[in-house]
Amino acid sequence: MIKKLFKQMLLTQILSSMTVTLCMLIDSMMIGRYLGVDSMTAYGLATPVLLVFAALGCLVSAGVQVMCGKTMGAGDKEGTNACFTISVVLATAISVVGMIVVLGFTDPICTLLGAGKPSPDNEVFQLTKDYLQGFIIGAPAFIAAQIMVPYMQMSGSRVRLVVAVVLMTVGDIVMDILNVTVFKQGTFGMGLASSISYYIAFVIGVAYFFKKNCIFKFRISLVKAKLCSRLLKDGVPTLINQVSLVLLTFVLNKILLDVNGKHAVAAYSVISTVGNICYAFSSGIAAVALTLSSIFYADEDRTALKKLVKIMSYYAVMICAVVTVVVLLAAKPMVTLFLTDLDAKDMAITGFRFFVLSLVPCALNTSFKNYFQGIGRVRFTMAISVFQNFALTAFAAFVLSRFFDVTGVWLGFVCGESVTLVCICIIVFIKNNKLAVDAQSFAMLDDNFGVDDDKCFEASVLKQEDVVIVSQQAAEFCESHGLTGRISNSIALSIEEMSNNIVSHGFTGKKDHSIDVRVMIKDTSPVLRIRDNCANFDPVKYLELHSDDDPAAHIGIRMVMKLVKDANYVNSLGLNNLTLTM
């Protein structure tokens, strides 16, 4: 089920990761083709500000993935609602403050970005200012769109995510075309077009949170300073990651201006923008890894975490290897879509080909980084972020540019990502005290984490005939580990009753349905978890609502609830999760 779930989440997460970058890509293409090199340079200089807002959105979004993943994994509904409420409050605060700062200090910000000082002869300065003023109007939707993504993934609302991204993209294309052909508002119009498209995605996404069956509830009474601090702390590694990217963009712009002037900056702007689309594949894989690792870690599911490491590594290599080959072959026509200036175009083509060689190590680095964040190895995650996205890449670009000019800057991407991956491998080898390249070693789990494999029973039910087989195997497993016949039979009966109920009422339609059964023996106290991918159904709440019915009705669920000490249900990632403590 884990591999199937990963694949289901991956496509929508990749598209969601493109939410920000698609508009930047379209803007870059239209600016480069229709507004000229000065406008393209201004857009490149404005990029760090866009990345700052992306970083703040990612701070809250990653905090949501970790904190909400843990609360949902533990079945803490109040904690989940607290996380949702706090994230909405933080997103609003960030948007308001950000708009005030950018609108109030636009001139000094443009100067700081490298656009020079305001003067009638400084066209680049005014163009940079215009783009920022157009973009900032959409800041609230820009931030909100990033924060809605993990909630919609966790609730299983993946179709809505795809629709929002598609319509946002179409809207931005239409608005950009209208800007260059009808309204002719220059870079301000390009920024405004992006803002409008962000609001399109926001309106489509936010509609889910007003539905009656939405699993997230806004409760302002749950907002507490301690929980706000916890959410922000969980998102700090991602903030550092994004800040590192902002610093890298700023430093590389400075190096390129020094080495080859505005044509090199324009070339880097194209590489950065198109590269972000390439990065969407690796960041999509990594985002799924972060969400799943947080949930599985809270569930103390050692087996699932090891499977996750193997699956995410496989997809990181395979998908990004294909992307690398495609881009190497299509680099020239892709760059031509953005630039007409021959000097800038030639530099961009060469740079893009060097850049994509870093995609596979980048995908592995980013996936491991997010996985480690999900399992609580925060310092390791932050160290990877700084080395990968700033220190090693910037250092390599600076040194190599002294020898190879602009080409040395492009080589910095490959060197930075490759050395970072080597560093991760060395740390993993030191932690495990052995040289091994396997999922168990890279899972980086402590020996006392969760339940040992020999104290955990796992099986899947794919059809009606599997129910009795799995229940009998579970009973035999429990008896072989010293549990009494009464408890062993209770577990078998619970599996049989609940699984039969799921198969009878949930295995409908064309979708491939399955049930994952897991029995864990913790200090001789067994815990049974039943997870299925059928329609939402909470047996605990259902029984509460029908407590006054005929005692003979719903007899299977009633019998199971009387056998257990505690029953907890949570729907996460579109899956039903029922945990029974015997």
Q: Is the pLDDT of residue 439 over 90?
A: no
**Is 185 contained in some domain?**
no
Domain count, the chain: 2
| pLDDT value at 240 more than 80 | yes
- How much is the pLDDT for 547? 66
Mean pLDDT, range 35-43, rounded to an integer = 88
Scan for tokens 């539905």, then name that residue: 211
- Residue finishing a domain among 390, 409, 439: 439
In a domain, 154, yes or no: no
Structure-token pair, residue 274: 């198109």
Give the pLDDT band of residue 135 (cuts 50, 70, 90). Answer: very high
Over residues 288-292, the mean pLDDT reads 89
CA-CA-CA-CA dihedral for 423, 427, 432, 438, to nearest 10 = -30
Using the predicted structure, report yes or no on whether residue 260 has a pLDDT greater than 80. Answer: no
Residues 99-109 have a mean pLDDT of 95
Query: Within this chain, do residues 283 and 414 fall inside the same structural domain, yes or no?
Result: yes
Q: Are residues 458 and 434 in the same domain?
A: no
Higher-scoring residue by pLDDT: 15, 297: 297
pLDDT bracket for residue 276 (50, 70, 90)? confident
Per-residue confidence (pLDDT) for residue 106, from 0 to 100: 96
What's the per-residue H, E or C state across 234-291? HHHHHHHHHHHHHHHHHHHHHHHHHHHCHHHHHHHHHHHHHHHHHHHHHHHHHHHHHH
Same domain, 12 and 58: yes
The pLDDT mean for the chain works out to: 87
Do 422 and 310 belong together in one domain? Answer: yes
In a domain, 539, yes or no: yes
Q: Give the rounded percent of residues in the chain with a pLDDT score beyond 90.
A: 37
Q: pLDDT class for 155, splitting at 50, 70, 90? A: confident
Domain of residue 485, residue span: 453-581
Pairing mode, if any, of strands 575-581 and 566-572? antiparallel
- Residue 571: φ, ψ to 5°: -105, 115
**Residue 186 pLDDT:** 92
- The model's pLDDT over 73-89, given as tens digits with 9 standing for 90+, comes to 777 889 999 999 999 99
Q: Answer whether residue 383 shows pLDDT above 70.
A: yes
In this prediction, residue 349 has a pLDDT band, given cuts at 50, 70 and 90, of confident
Do 320 and 435 lie in one domain? The reply is yes
Using 50, 70 and 90 to split pLDDT, how confident is the model at 348?
confident
* Within a domain: 174: no
Q: Is the pLDDT assigned to residue 549 strictly greater than 70?
A: no
Question: Could you tell me which of 272, 279, 269, 363 has the C-alpha nearest to residue 317?
Answer: 363
Q: Is 477:457 a contact under the CB 8 Å cutoff?
A: yes
Q: Which of 117-121, 154-158, 341-345, 551-555 has the highest mean pLDDT?
A: 117-121
List, for residues 323-339, the tens digit of each pLDDT value: 999 989 988 888 877 76
Which is more confident, 70 or 461?
461
The answer to whether residue 171 is domain-embedded is no
Q: What is the pLDDT of residue 357?
A: 93
pLDDT band for position 551 (cuts 50, 70, 90): low
Is residue 72 included in any domain, yes or no?
A: yes
More confidently predicted of 136 and 6: 136
Residues 571 and 535 in one domain: yes
For 173-225, write each residue's pLDDT tens digit. 899 999 999 999 999 999 999 999 999 999 999 999 998 888 899 999 999 99
**165 pLDDT above the threshold of 90:** no
Residue 493 and residue 368 in one domain: no
Q: Are 253 and 45 contacting, i.e. CB atoms less than 8 angstroms apart? A: yes
Measured distance CA(389)–CA(411) in Å, rounded: 14
Q: Looking at the structure, tell me whether residues 432 and 469 fall in a common domain.
A: no
Q: Is 536 left (phi over 0), alpha (psi -120 to 50) or beta?
A: beta
Q: What is the CATH number of the domain that holds 467?
A: 3.30.565.10
| 381 and 520 part of one domain | no
Q: For residue range 309-324, list pLDDT tens digits in order.
A: 999 999 999 999 999 9
Which of 439, 474, 495 is the last residue in one of the domains?
A: 439
Do 363 and 462 lie in a common domain? Answer: no
- The answer on pLDDT for 123 being more than 70 is yes
Does residue 542 sit in the same domain as residue 486? yes
pLDDT on residue 317 = 95
pTM across the whole model: 0.76
Contact 366, 237 (CB under 8 A): no
239 pLDDT more than 90: no
**Residue 159 lies inside a defined structural domain of this protein:** no
Q: Which 3 state secondary structure label does DSSP give 84?
A: helix
pLDDT the model gives residue 524: 61
CA distance 198 to 283: 20
Range with lowest mean pLDDT among 15-19, 525-529, 548-552: 548-552
In a domain, 196, yes or no: no
d(CA 131, CA 450): 51
User: Is 492 found in the same domain as 396?
Assistant: no
pLDDT at 122: 94
Answer with the one of 393, 416, 439 that is the final residue of a domain: 439
